[in-house]
Each structure stands twice: as C-alpha cells, then as structure tokens.
Structure 1
Amino acid sequence: MSAAAMSRRTLGALVLGLSLAACSSGTPTASAGTAPATFAPLVKKVLPSVVNIAVTEVVSGNDVMADLPPELRGTPFERQFRDRFRDRREQILGAGSGFVIDPSGVIVTNNHVVGHAAKIVVSLSDGTELPATVIGTDSLTDIAVIKVNAGHTLPAVSWGDSRAVEVGDWILAAGNPFGLGGSVTVGIVSARGRDIGAGPFDDFLQLDAPINPGNSGGPTFNLDGQVVGVNTAIVSPTGGSVGIGFAIPSQIVEGIVADLRSKGHIDRGWLGVSVSESDAAGKVSGVTIAGVDRQGPAARAGVRAGDIVTAVNGDHVDTARGLIRAVAATQPGTVVHLSLLRAGRAFDVSVTVGHRPADSAG
C-alpha cells in the first residue's frame, strides 16, 4: 500500500496493513503443535490462491496542500505552494494482498487496501493481471470483497474455524510485502482477543510471523491450509516488521464476506446511545448509558441517560464493547429486551433496533 494510505491507517505505532498468513498440513507428521519438516507442500497448496493487489487512488489538490511542509508555513513560499497545487489531482499507487475464496474469481482483502481505489488490478500467482470490481466493503471490520473475471476457474481456499485456534499454534503468512510479490513467512499465534483500538469490533489474533506493509488483506492459514484470519495490522515503530502483527479471525470475516456478497453492505443494529463502563463503585455490573439520541430507538423506548444496562435479551453484558457488539449484531427492525437499573430499581424495556449510521457509537 502507498505511504499516504499507510499514514491514514496508522494508530500510534500500529500500522494498519499487513500480510497474508498460510500454514499447511503438507507433511503427514505435522500437527497444530508440531512443525513439519518443511512447509513447502503447504505453500504449493495455498499460494496459487493468494493474489497481489495494485490500486490507484486520485488525491485532490486540497489533500496535497494539507501536507504543506512545516518549513514553508508563514513564508512567502507558502502561497506559491498553495497556488501550484490548488487544482491539481495526484494519482497514488498502493499495493496489498488478497485471496480467492470462490473459483469464479471472488477475492477477500482489506477495506483499507481498496476502499478508496479508483482502479484495482489483481495479479494472479501465474503473473496474469486482471481488473477488479468491488462487490462490497465494510470499514468497521476492515473487510472488502472484490471480483475478477479470469475466463476460467481459479484455485480457491476454504475457511477454517478460528475459534479452534490456540495460542502457540503454527501459522504461515504469505502475501505481497513492500510490493515484492508472493512471499511466505511462518510463526505462531501469540495471543487471542487483542483490542488495538482500531474499531468497536476489535478481536484480533496476534501473530509473530513477519508481516509488512503490502501484506494487508492476505490470509492467515492453519496447518490444514484453511484461512483462519485476514492480516490487517502490525506494530511498527519503523514501518517494517518487528514480529507483532494482527489478523481478523475467520469467525468474524466469514459472516461479513457472506453478507457483502449477498447485499454489498452490512446492516447493523443501533440504539442511539453513548455508553461507558458502569461506575457504580463495583456494586453493579453493567454498562452505563452516558447519553441518548433524542431521535434514536432507545429514546423512543424510554431509555434515559444514567440507566445501567445489565443484559440484552437475557444475556448479561458488563462492558461497553460487549453491549455495542450485541446490538450491532442484531438485525435492524428486530425488538430487543434490555434489562436496566434506574436509581436502584430493576426493570425491562423493549426497543426496536434501528439502522446503525456511519461512525455511530451504539
């Protein structure tokens, strides 16, 4: 991906945009806890399904001027710089990775790889270059689905169950680091359930396989050659790999991809509230309603700021993230039952869930 695209996705030292991971059971003696003598059979099995993605973005003159060098500010040269770039449009080239999940040419990648692209070109493992169109994107989980028409079937990989992945399991990463083309690395799952502050649905697998910018959107494979994650971010003070990367678990990606393929977008539930962890000095486990949108579903149902949500449809919630996820996973138009505490009194409220607006909190 381009330097400009990388800077937009930087989160402190977390640079959004990683690699694809792939690991296989090509050796009969290999298991989740034992490294095979060689990963070559696995690489031969999965690498043909891994693609390189090149994108072209068009940046307006206003965006260029936003990067005015500090040394020019307040000098006579500032006006010359602004006059020069005011009406200019720049093309920025970026690179990422993806993988084929359907022989018809359906490919999964990251939203931040293709979300702003004016043109997308996919390079297959045999060097064939094909234009791609976007089927659908989801910025909240950073997943995108694109499609190419190759005129023939393409080798595709299958989903694995990320819920079965354990810390210490082997994985193999493959992708397009720094635009170099098909590359593979190997490592283990270092941790599960990582929240890196990228969004409300963070639940990353942490990997130690070397992954770098340009590997964004690539798959993480288990030793059976199944996709158990989509690589999306790295910890990178220098811009290169320091051995800490993050992949979106397949249990999240698979459902998002299915919805994007069928509808082109994701419908998420919305209450119209802002929330925080309960501050009732540890006496009450729940989520405090910090604010209520007057036009939102919760307000219409009688929910007030200061109420504490203890359960959604009978399932206990004790974190703001848990409440947001529970509501977001609910189909708009569905009625949910909230268990609330107000001034020490417990009661239930039925709310008809609305459509989550872009960049909404809950």
Structure 2
Amino acid sequence: MENNMMETLSSAMVRAVAQAAQSVVTVWGGRRPISGVVVAPERVLTVDHVLEGDEARVTVEGGHKWAASVLGRDPSSDLALLRVEGLTNPALAVGQDPELGQLVLWVARPDAVMVSHGVVSAVGGPVSMGRGMRGQGQRLERYFRSDAQPYPGFSGGAFINLNGAMVGLGNAGVLRGQGVGIPASLVVETVGLMAQGERRPHPFLGIGSQSVRLPSEGASRRGLLVVSVDPQSPAARAGLFIGDVLLSFGGVALEDTDDLQAQVSRERIGQSFSLEIVRAGTQVTVTLEIGARGEKN
C-alpha cells in the first residue's frame, strides 16, 4: 500500500512538472542565465535583480531564441515583466498561495528543465531585501520559504503545486542560499499593475533609525533613535528630528526596526497614528500619517 501511495505521488509530480515546463523559459539578461515564467500571451515574468538593462533574450524548449524587453519592474518584490513579441508558449495556470507544510515543486530552466522539491517551511513577511538587490533596503511584504534546493539559475522559476499551477515565483536572492517564493497573490497583483505601467504603492515614513537603550530605564527598555529624516517626508511633516527616540507607534512599543516595519503596511497608507517619542529628555506625542514612496508632496 505504501508503494502504491509513493507511485501515485510520483506520477502526480511527473504530470505537474510536464505541464508547467511548457511555460518555463530561460532568460538571458545579465552575466548568467536565469529562469522565467510565461504569465500571459507574449509576457514573461522573472526576477529583477539579475537583469542588467532593459533588453534580454528568452530561450524556449528546442533552443529557439526570442528578443525581449522590460515592460515593467517592481524592485520591492524583485519582479520584472518582459515583453516577448511572437512568443507562443502557453501561460502557466495560477493557483492559491501555498500553506505551511505543503509539498511544492520548483521548476526552472537555467538551460534544460530542472526540478527541485520540498515543503513550505515558513510563511511570513515583511523581510528586508539583501545586498545586490535593486530593492535593497526595501521590504518584501509577503513571502514563503521552502527547503527545495535553489540551484544556479533557479531564480525566476515557478513554484507549483501537484496540479501544475503556480503558487509562487522562486527567488534565490532574497535570503541568500535559501529557496524563497513570492506568493501567487502578490505575483498576480504586481503583474497586473506592471502591465498597465503602474507600480504598487509602498508605505513610506522617511526616517532612518536604530535600536538604543533608554538611559532612564536601564537595560530593560529600548527605543528607536532617529538618525535621519528625509526632507518633505511624512516624518518631516510630523515634526520628527534627528535625535528623537521613538517609543511607540499607534500604542505598539518599538524596540527595534522590525517592530516599526511591522506597523507600516501598505493597507495603512493615508492613515494617521500617534507616535510617542522622547525629545531632549521629555516625552511628547506627535501624529504621523503613513505616506507612499515616491508620492509628490
């Protein structure tokens, strides 16, 4: 019985990979090849950080090469949408975001089709973009992690379920050496905006900060020391200054930068919150409205 179950699972994996492989291509846009996924007629989605310019080449099964151009980029999710005129490969079906513990297959085409598999070991966000990413310092709002092995060229490949539907786009650059997926829901939303020449709004405060101990509280309490304030930013309009120490945001204590980032979500853009701060030894309250990165003031 156990052998039958394994054979059934193996057959399902083979069918899923065969189905998805038709929509996974090789992308040449930098020093090394990566993978990409056909998401619409003449449209290929891949990772942004490897693309060195606005032109690329796409190779499909059989070795045929197509010229490609960048239609849109979203550095905060490290996604890039390519226009490939004449490409006839089918778009890959999209499934639901994966759940913790779900079996996933990572299908890529750095040259020939390759596959890695594993389970979804973490679902979370936000996470900071690392070095070498075009969106370095920005926050990827949602991601999942898998123990599927990220071989060279796997970035831009598709994480799929056993039905052959994409549940996320693979990225080996967000957390170096780990298999990270951009969830399908975020992929669909971002692709839709890039196709229209738009970008997703990203929350923005306009401050730099670092965690510090509060002298009056000993080692038991920490806050965030403001080390920079961008001109004409939401923080500047709220009256924040370098040297202020942030204690809480909307009633939530702030002890490190992750605490602050967790409160600054895209859904809260345009909303105002009270910010408890210490300025020159005195505790005061200011009101800050979360802005959108790149908005005109």
Which TM-score tier does this pair reach, normalised by the shorter chain?
0.7 to 0.9
Instruction: Give the secondary structure class of the aligned counterpart of 2:19.
Output: helix
Post-superposition CA distance 1:267-316 (Å, at most 9, x none): 4333221122363357557644333235433123212332315225x777
Aligned-pair identity (%): 23
Instruction: Give the secondary structure class of the aligned counterpart of 2:49.
Output: helix
Quote the residue 1:296 is aligned against: 233
5+ long unaligned stretches in structure 2: 131-136
Q: 1:226 to 1:344 in 2, by over 3 A?
A: farther
Instruction: Give the secondary structure class of the aligned counterpart of 1:46.
Output: helix
Quote the residue 1:47 is aligned against: 21
Post-superposition CA distance 1:47-83 (Å, at most 9, x none): 211111123x5xxxxxxxxxxxxxxxxxxxxxxxxxx
How far off its partner does 1:205 sit?
3.0
Instruction: Give the secondary structure class of the aligned counterpart of 1:41.
Output: helix
Quote the residue 2:266 is aligned against: 329
Matched, 1:262 2:196: yes
Matched, 1:96 2:27: no
Quote the residue 1:171 is aligned against: 104
Quote the residue 1:350 is aligned against: 288
Quote the residue 1:9 is aligned against: none
- TM-score, with length taken from structure 1: 0.63
Instruction: Give the secondary structure class of the aligned counterpart of 1:108.
Output: strand
- TM-score, with length taken from structure 2: 0.75
Instruction: Give the secondary structure class of the aligned counterpart of 1:260.
Output: helix
How far off its partner does 1:318 sit?
5.5
Post-superposition CA distance 1:94-134 (Å, at most 9, x none): 311111222x22221100232x1353122234654322221
Contact 1:201 1:325 survives alignment (8 Å): no
Contact 1:188 1:209 survives alignment (8 Å): yes
Contact 2:71 2:194 survives alignment (8 Å): yes
Counterpart Cα distance in 2 of 1:139 and 1:297: 22
Q: 1:300 to 1:155 in 2, by over 3 A?
A: closer
Once structures 1 and 2 are overlaid, which stretch shifts more, 278-287 or 210-219? 278-287
Q: 1:184 to 1:310 in 2, by over 3 A?
A: same
Contact 1:173 1:185 survives alignment (8 Å): yes
Q: How many residues end up aligned between the 2 structures?
A: 277
Quote the residue 1:190 is aligned against: 121
Quote the residue 1:216 is aligned against: 155
Post-superposition CA distance 1:168-204 (Å, at most 9, x none): 3211111123xx2222222223344485761442564
Contact 2:42 2:87 survives alignment (8 Å): no
Instruction: Give the secondary structure class of the aligned counterpart of 1:229.
Output: strand
Q: 1:311 to 1:218 in 2, by over 3 A?
A: same
1:276-315 counterparts in 2 under 5 A?
A: 276-277=210-211, 279-280=213-214, 287-304=224-241, 305-308=243-246, 310-312=248-250
Contact 1:121 1:129 survives alignment (8 Å): yes
1:123-138 counterparts in 2 under 5 A?
A: 123-125=59-61, 127-138=63-74
Quote the residue 1:26 is aligned against: none
Q: 1:130 to 1:349 in 2, by over 3 A?
A: same
Instruction: Give the secondary structure class of the aligned counterpart of 2:236.
Output: helix
Structure scoring higher RCO (CA < 8 A, sep ≥ 6) equals: 1
> One-letter code of the match for 1:98?
G
Q: 1:236 to 1:153 in 2, by over 3 A?
A: closer
Contact 2:94 2:184 survives alignment (8 Å): no
Instruction: Give the secondary structure class of the aligned counterpart of 2:196.
Output: helix
Counterpart Cα distance in 2 of 1:182 and 1:209: 15
Instruction: Give the secondary structure class of the aligned counterpart of 1:36.
Output: helix
After superposition, the CA RMSD in angstroms is: 3.7
How far off its partner does 1:324 sit?
3.7
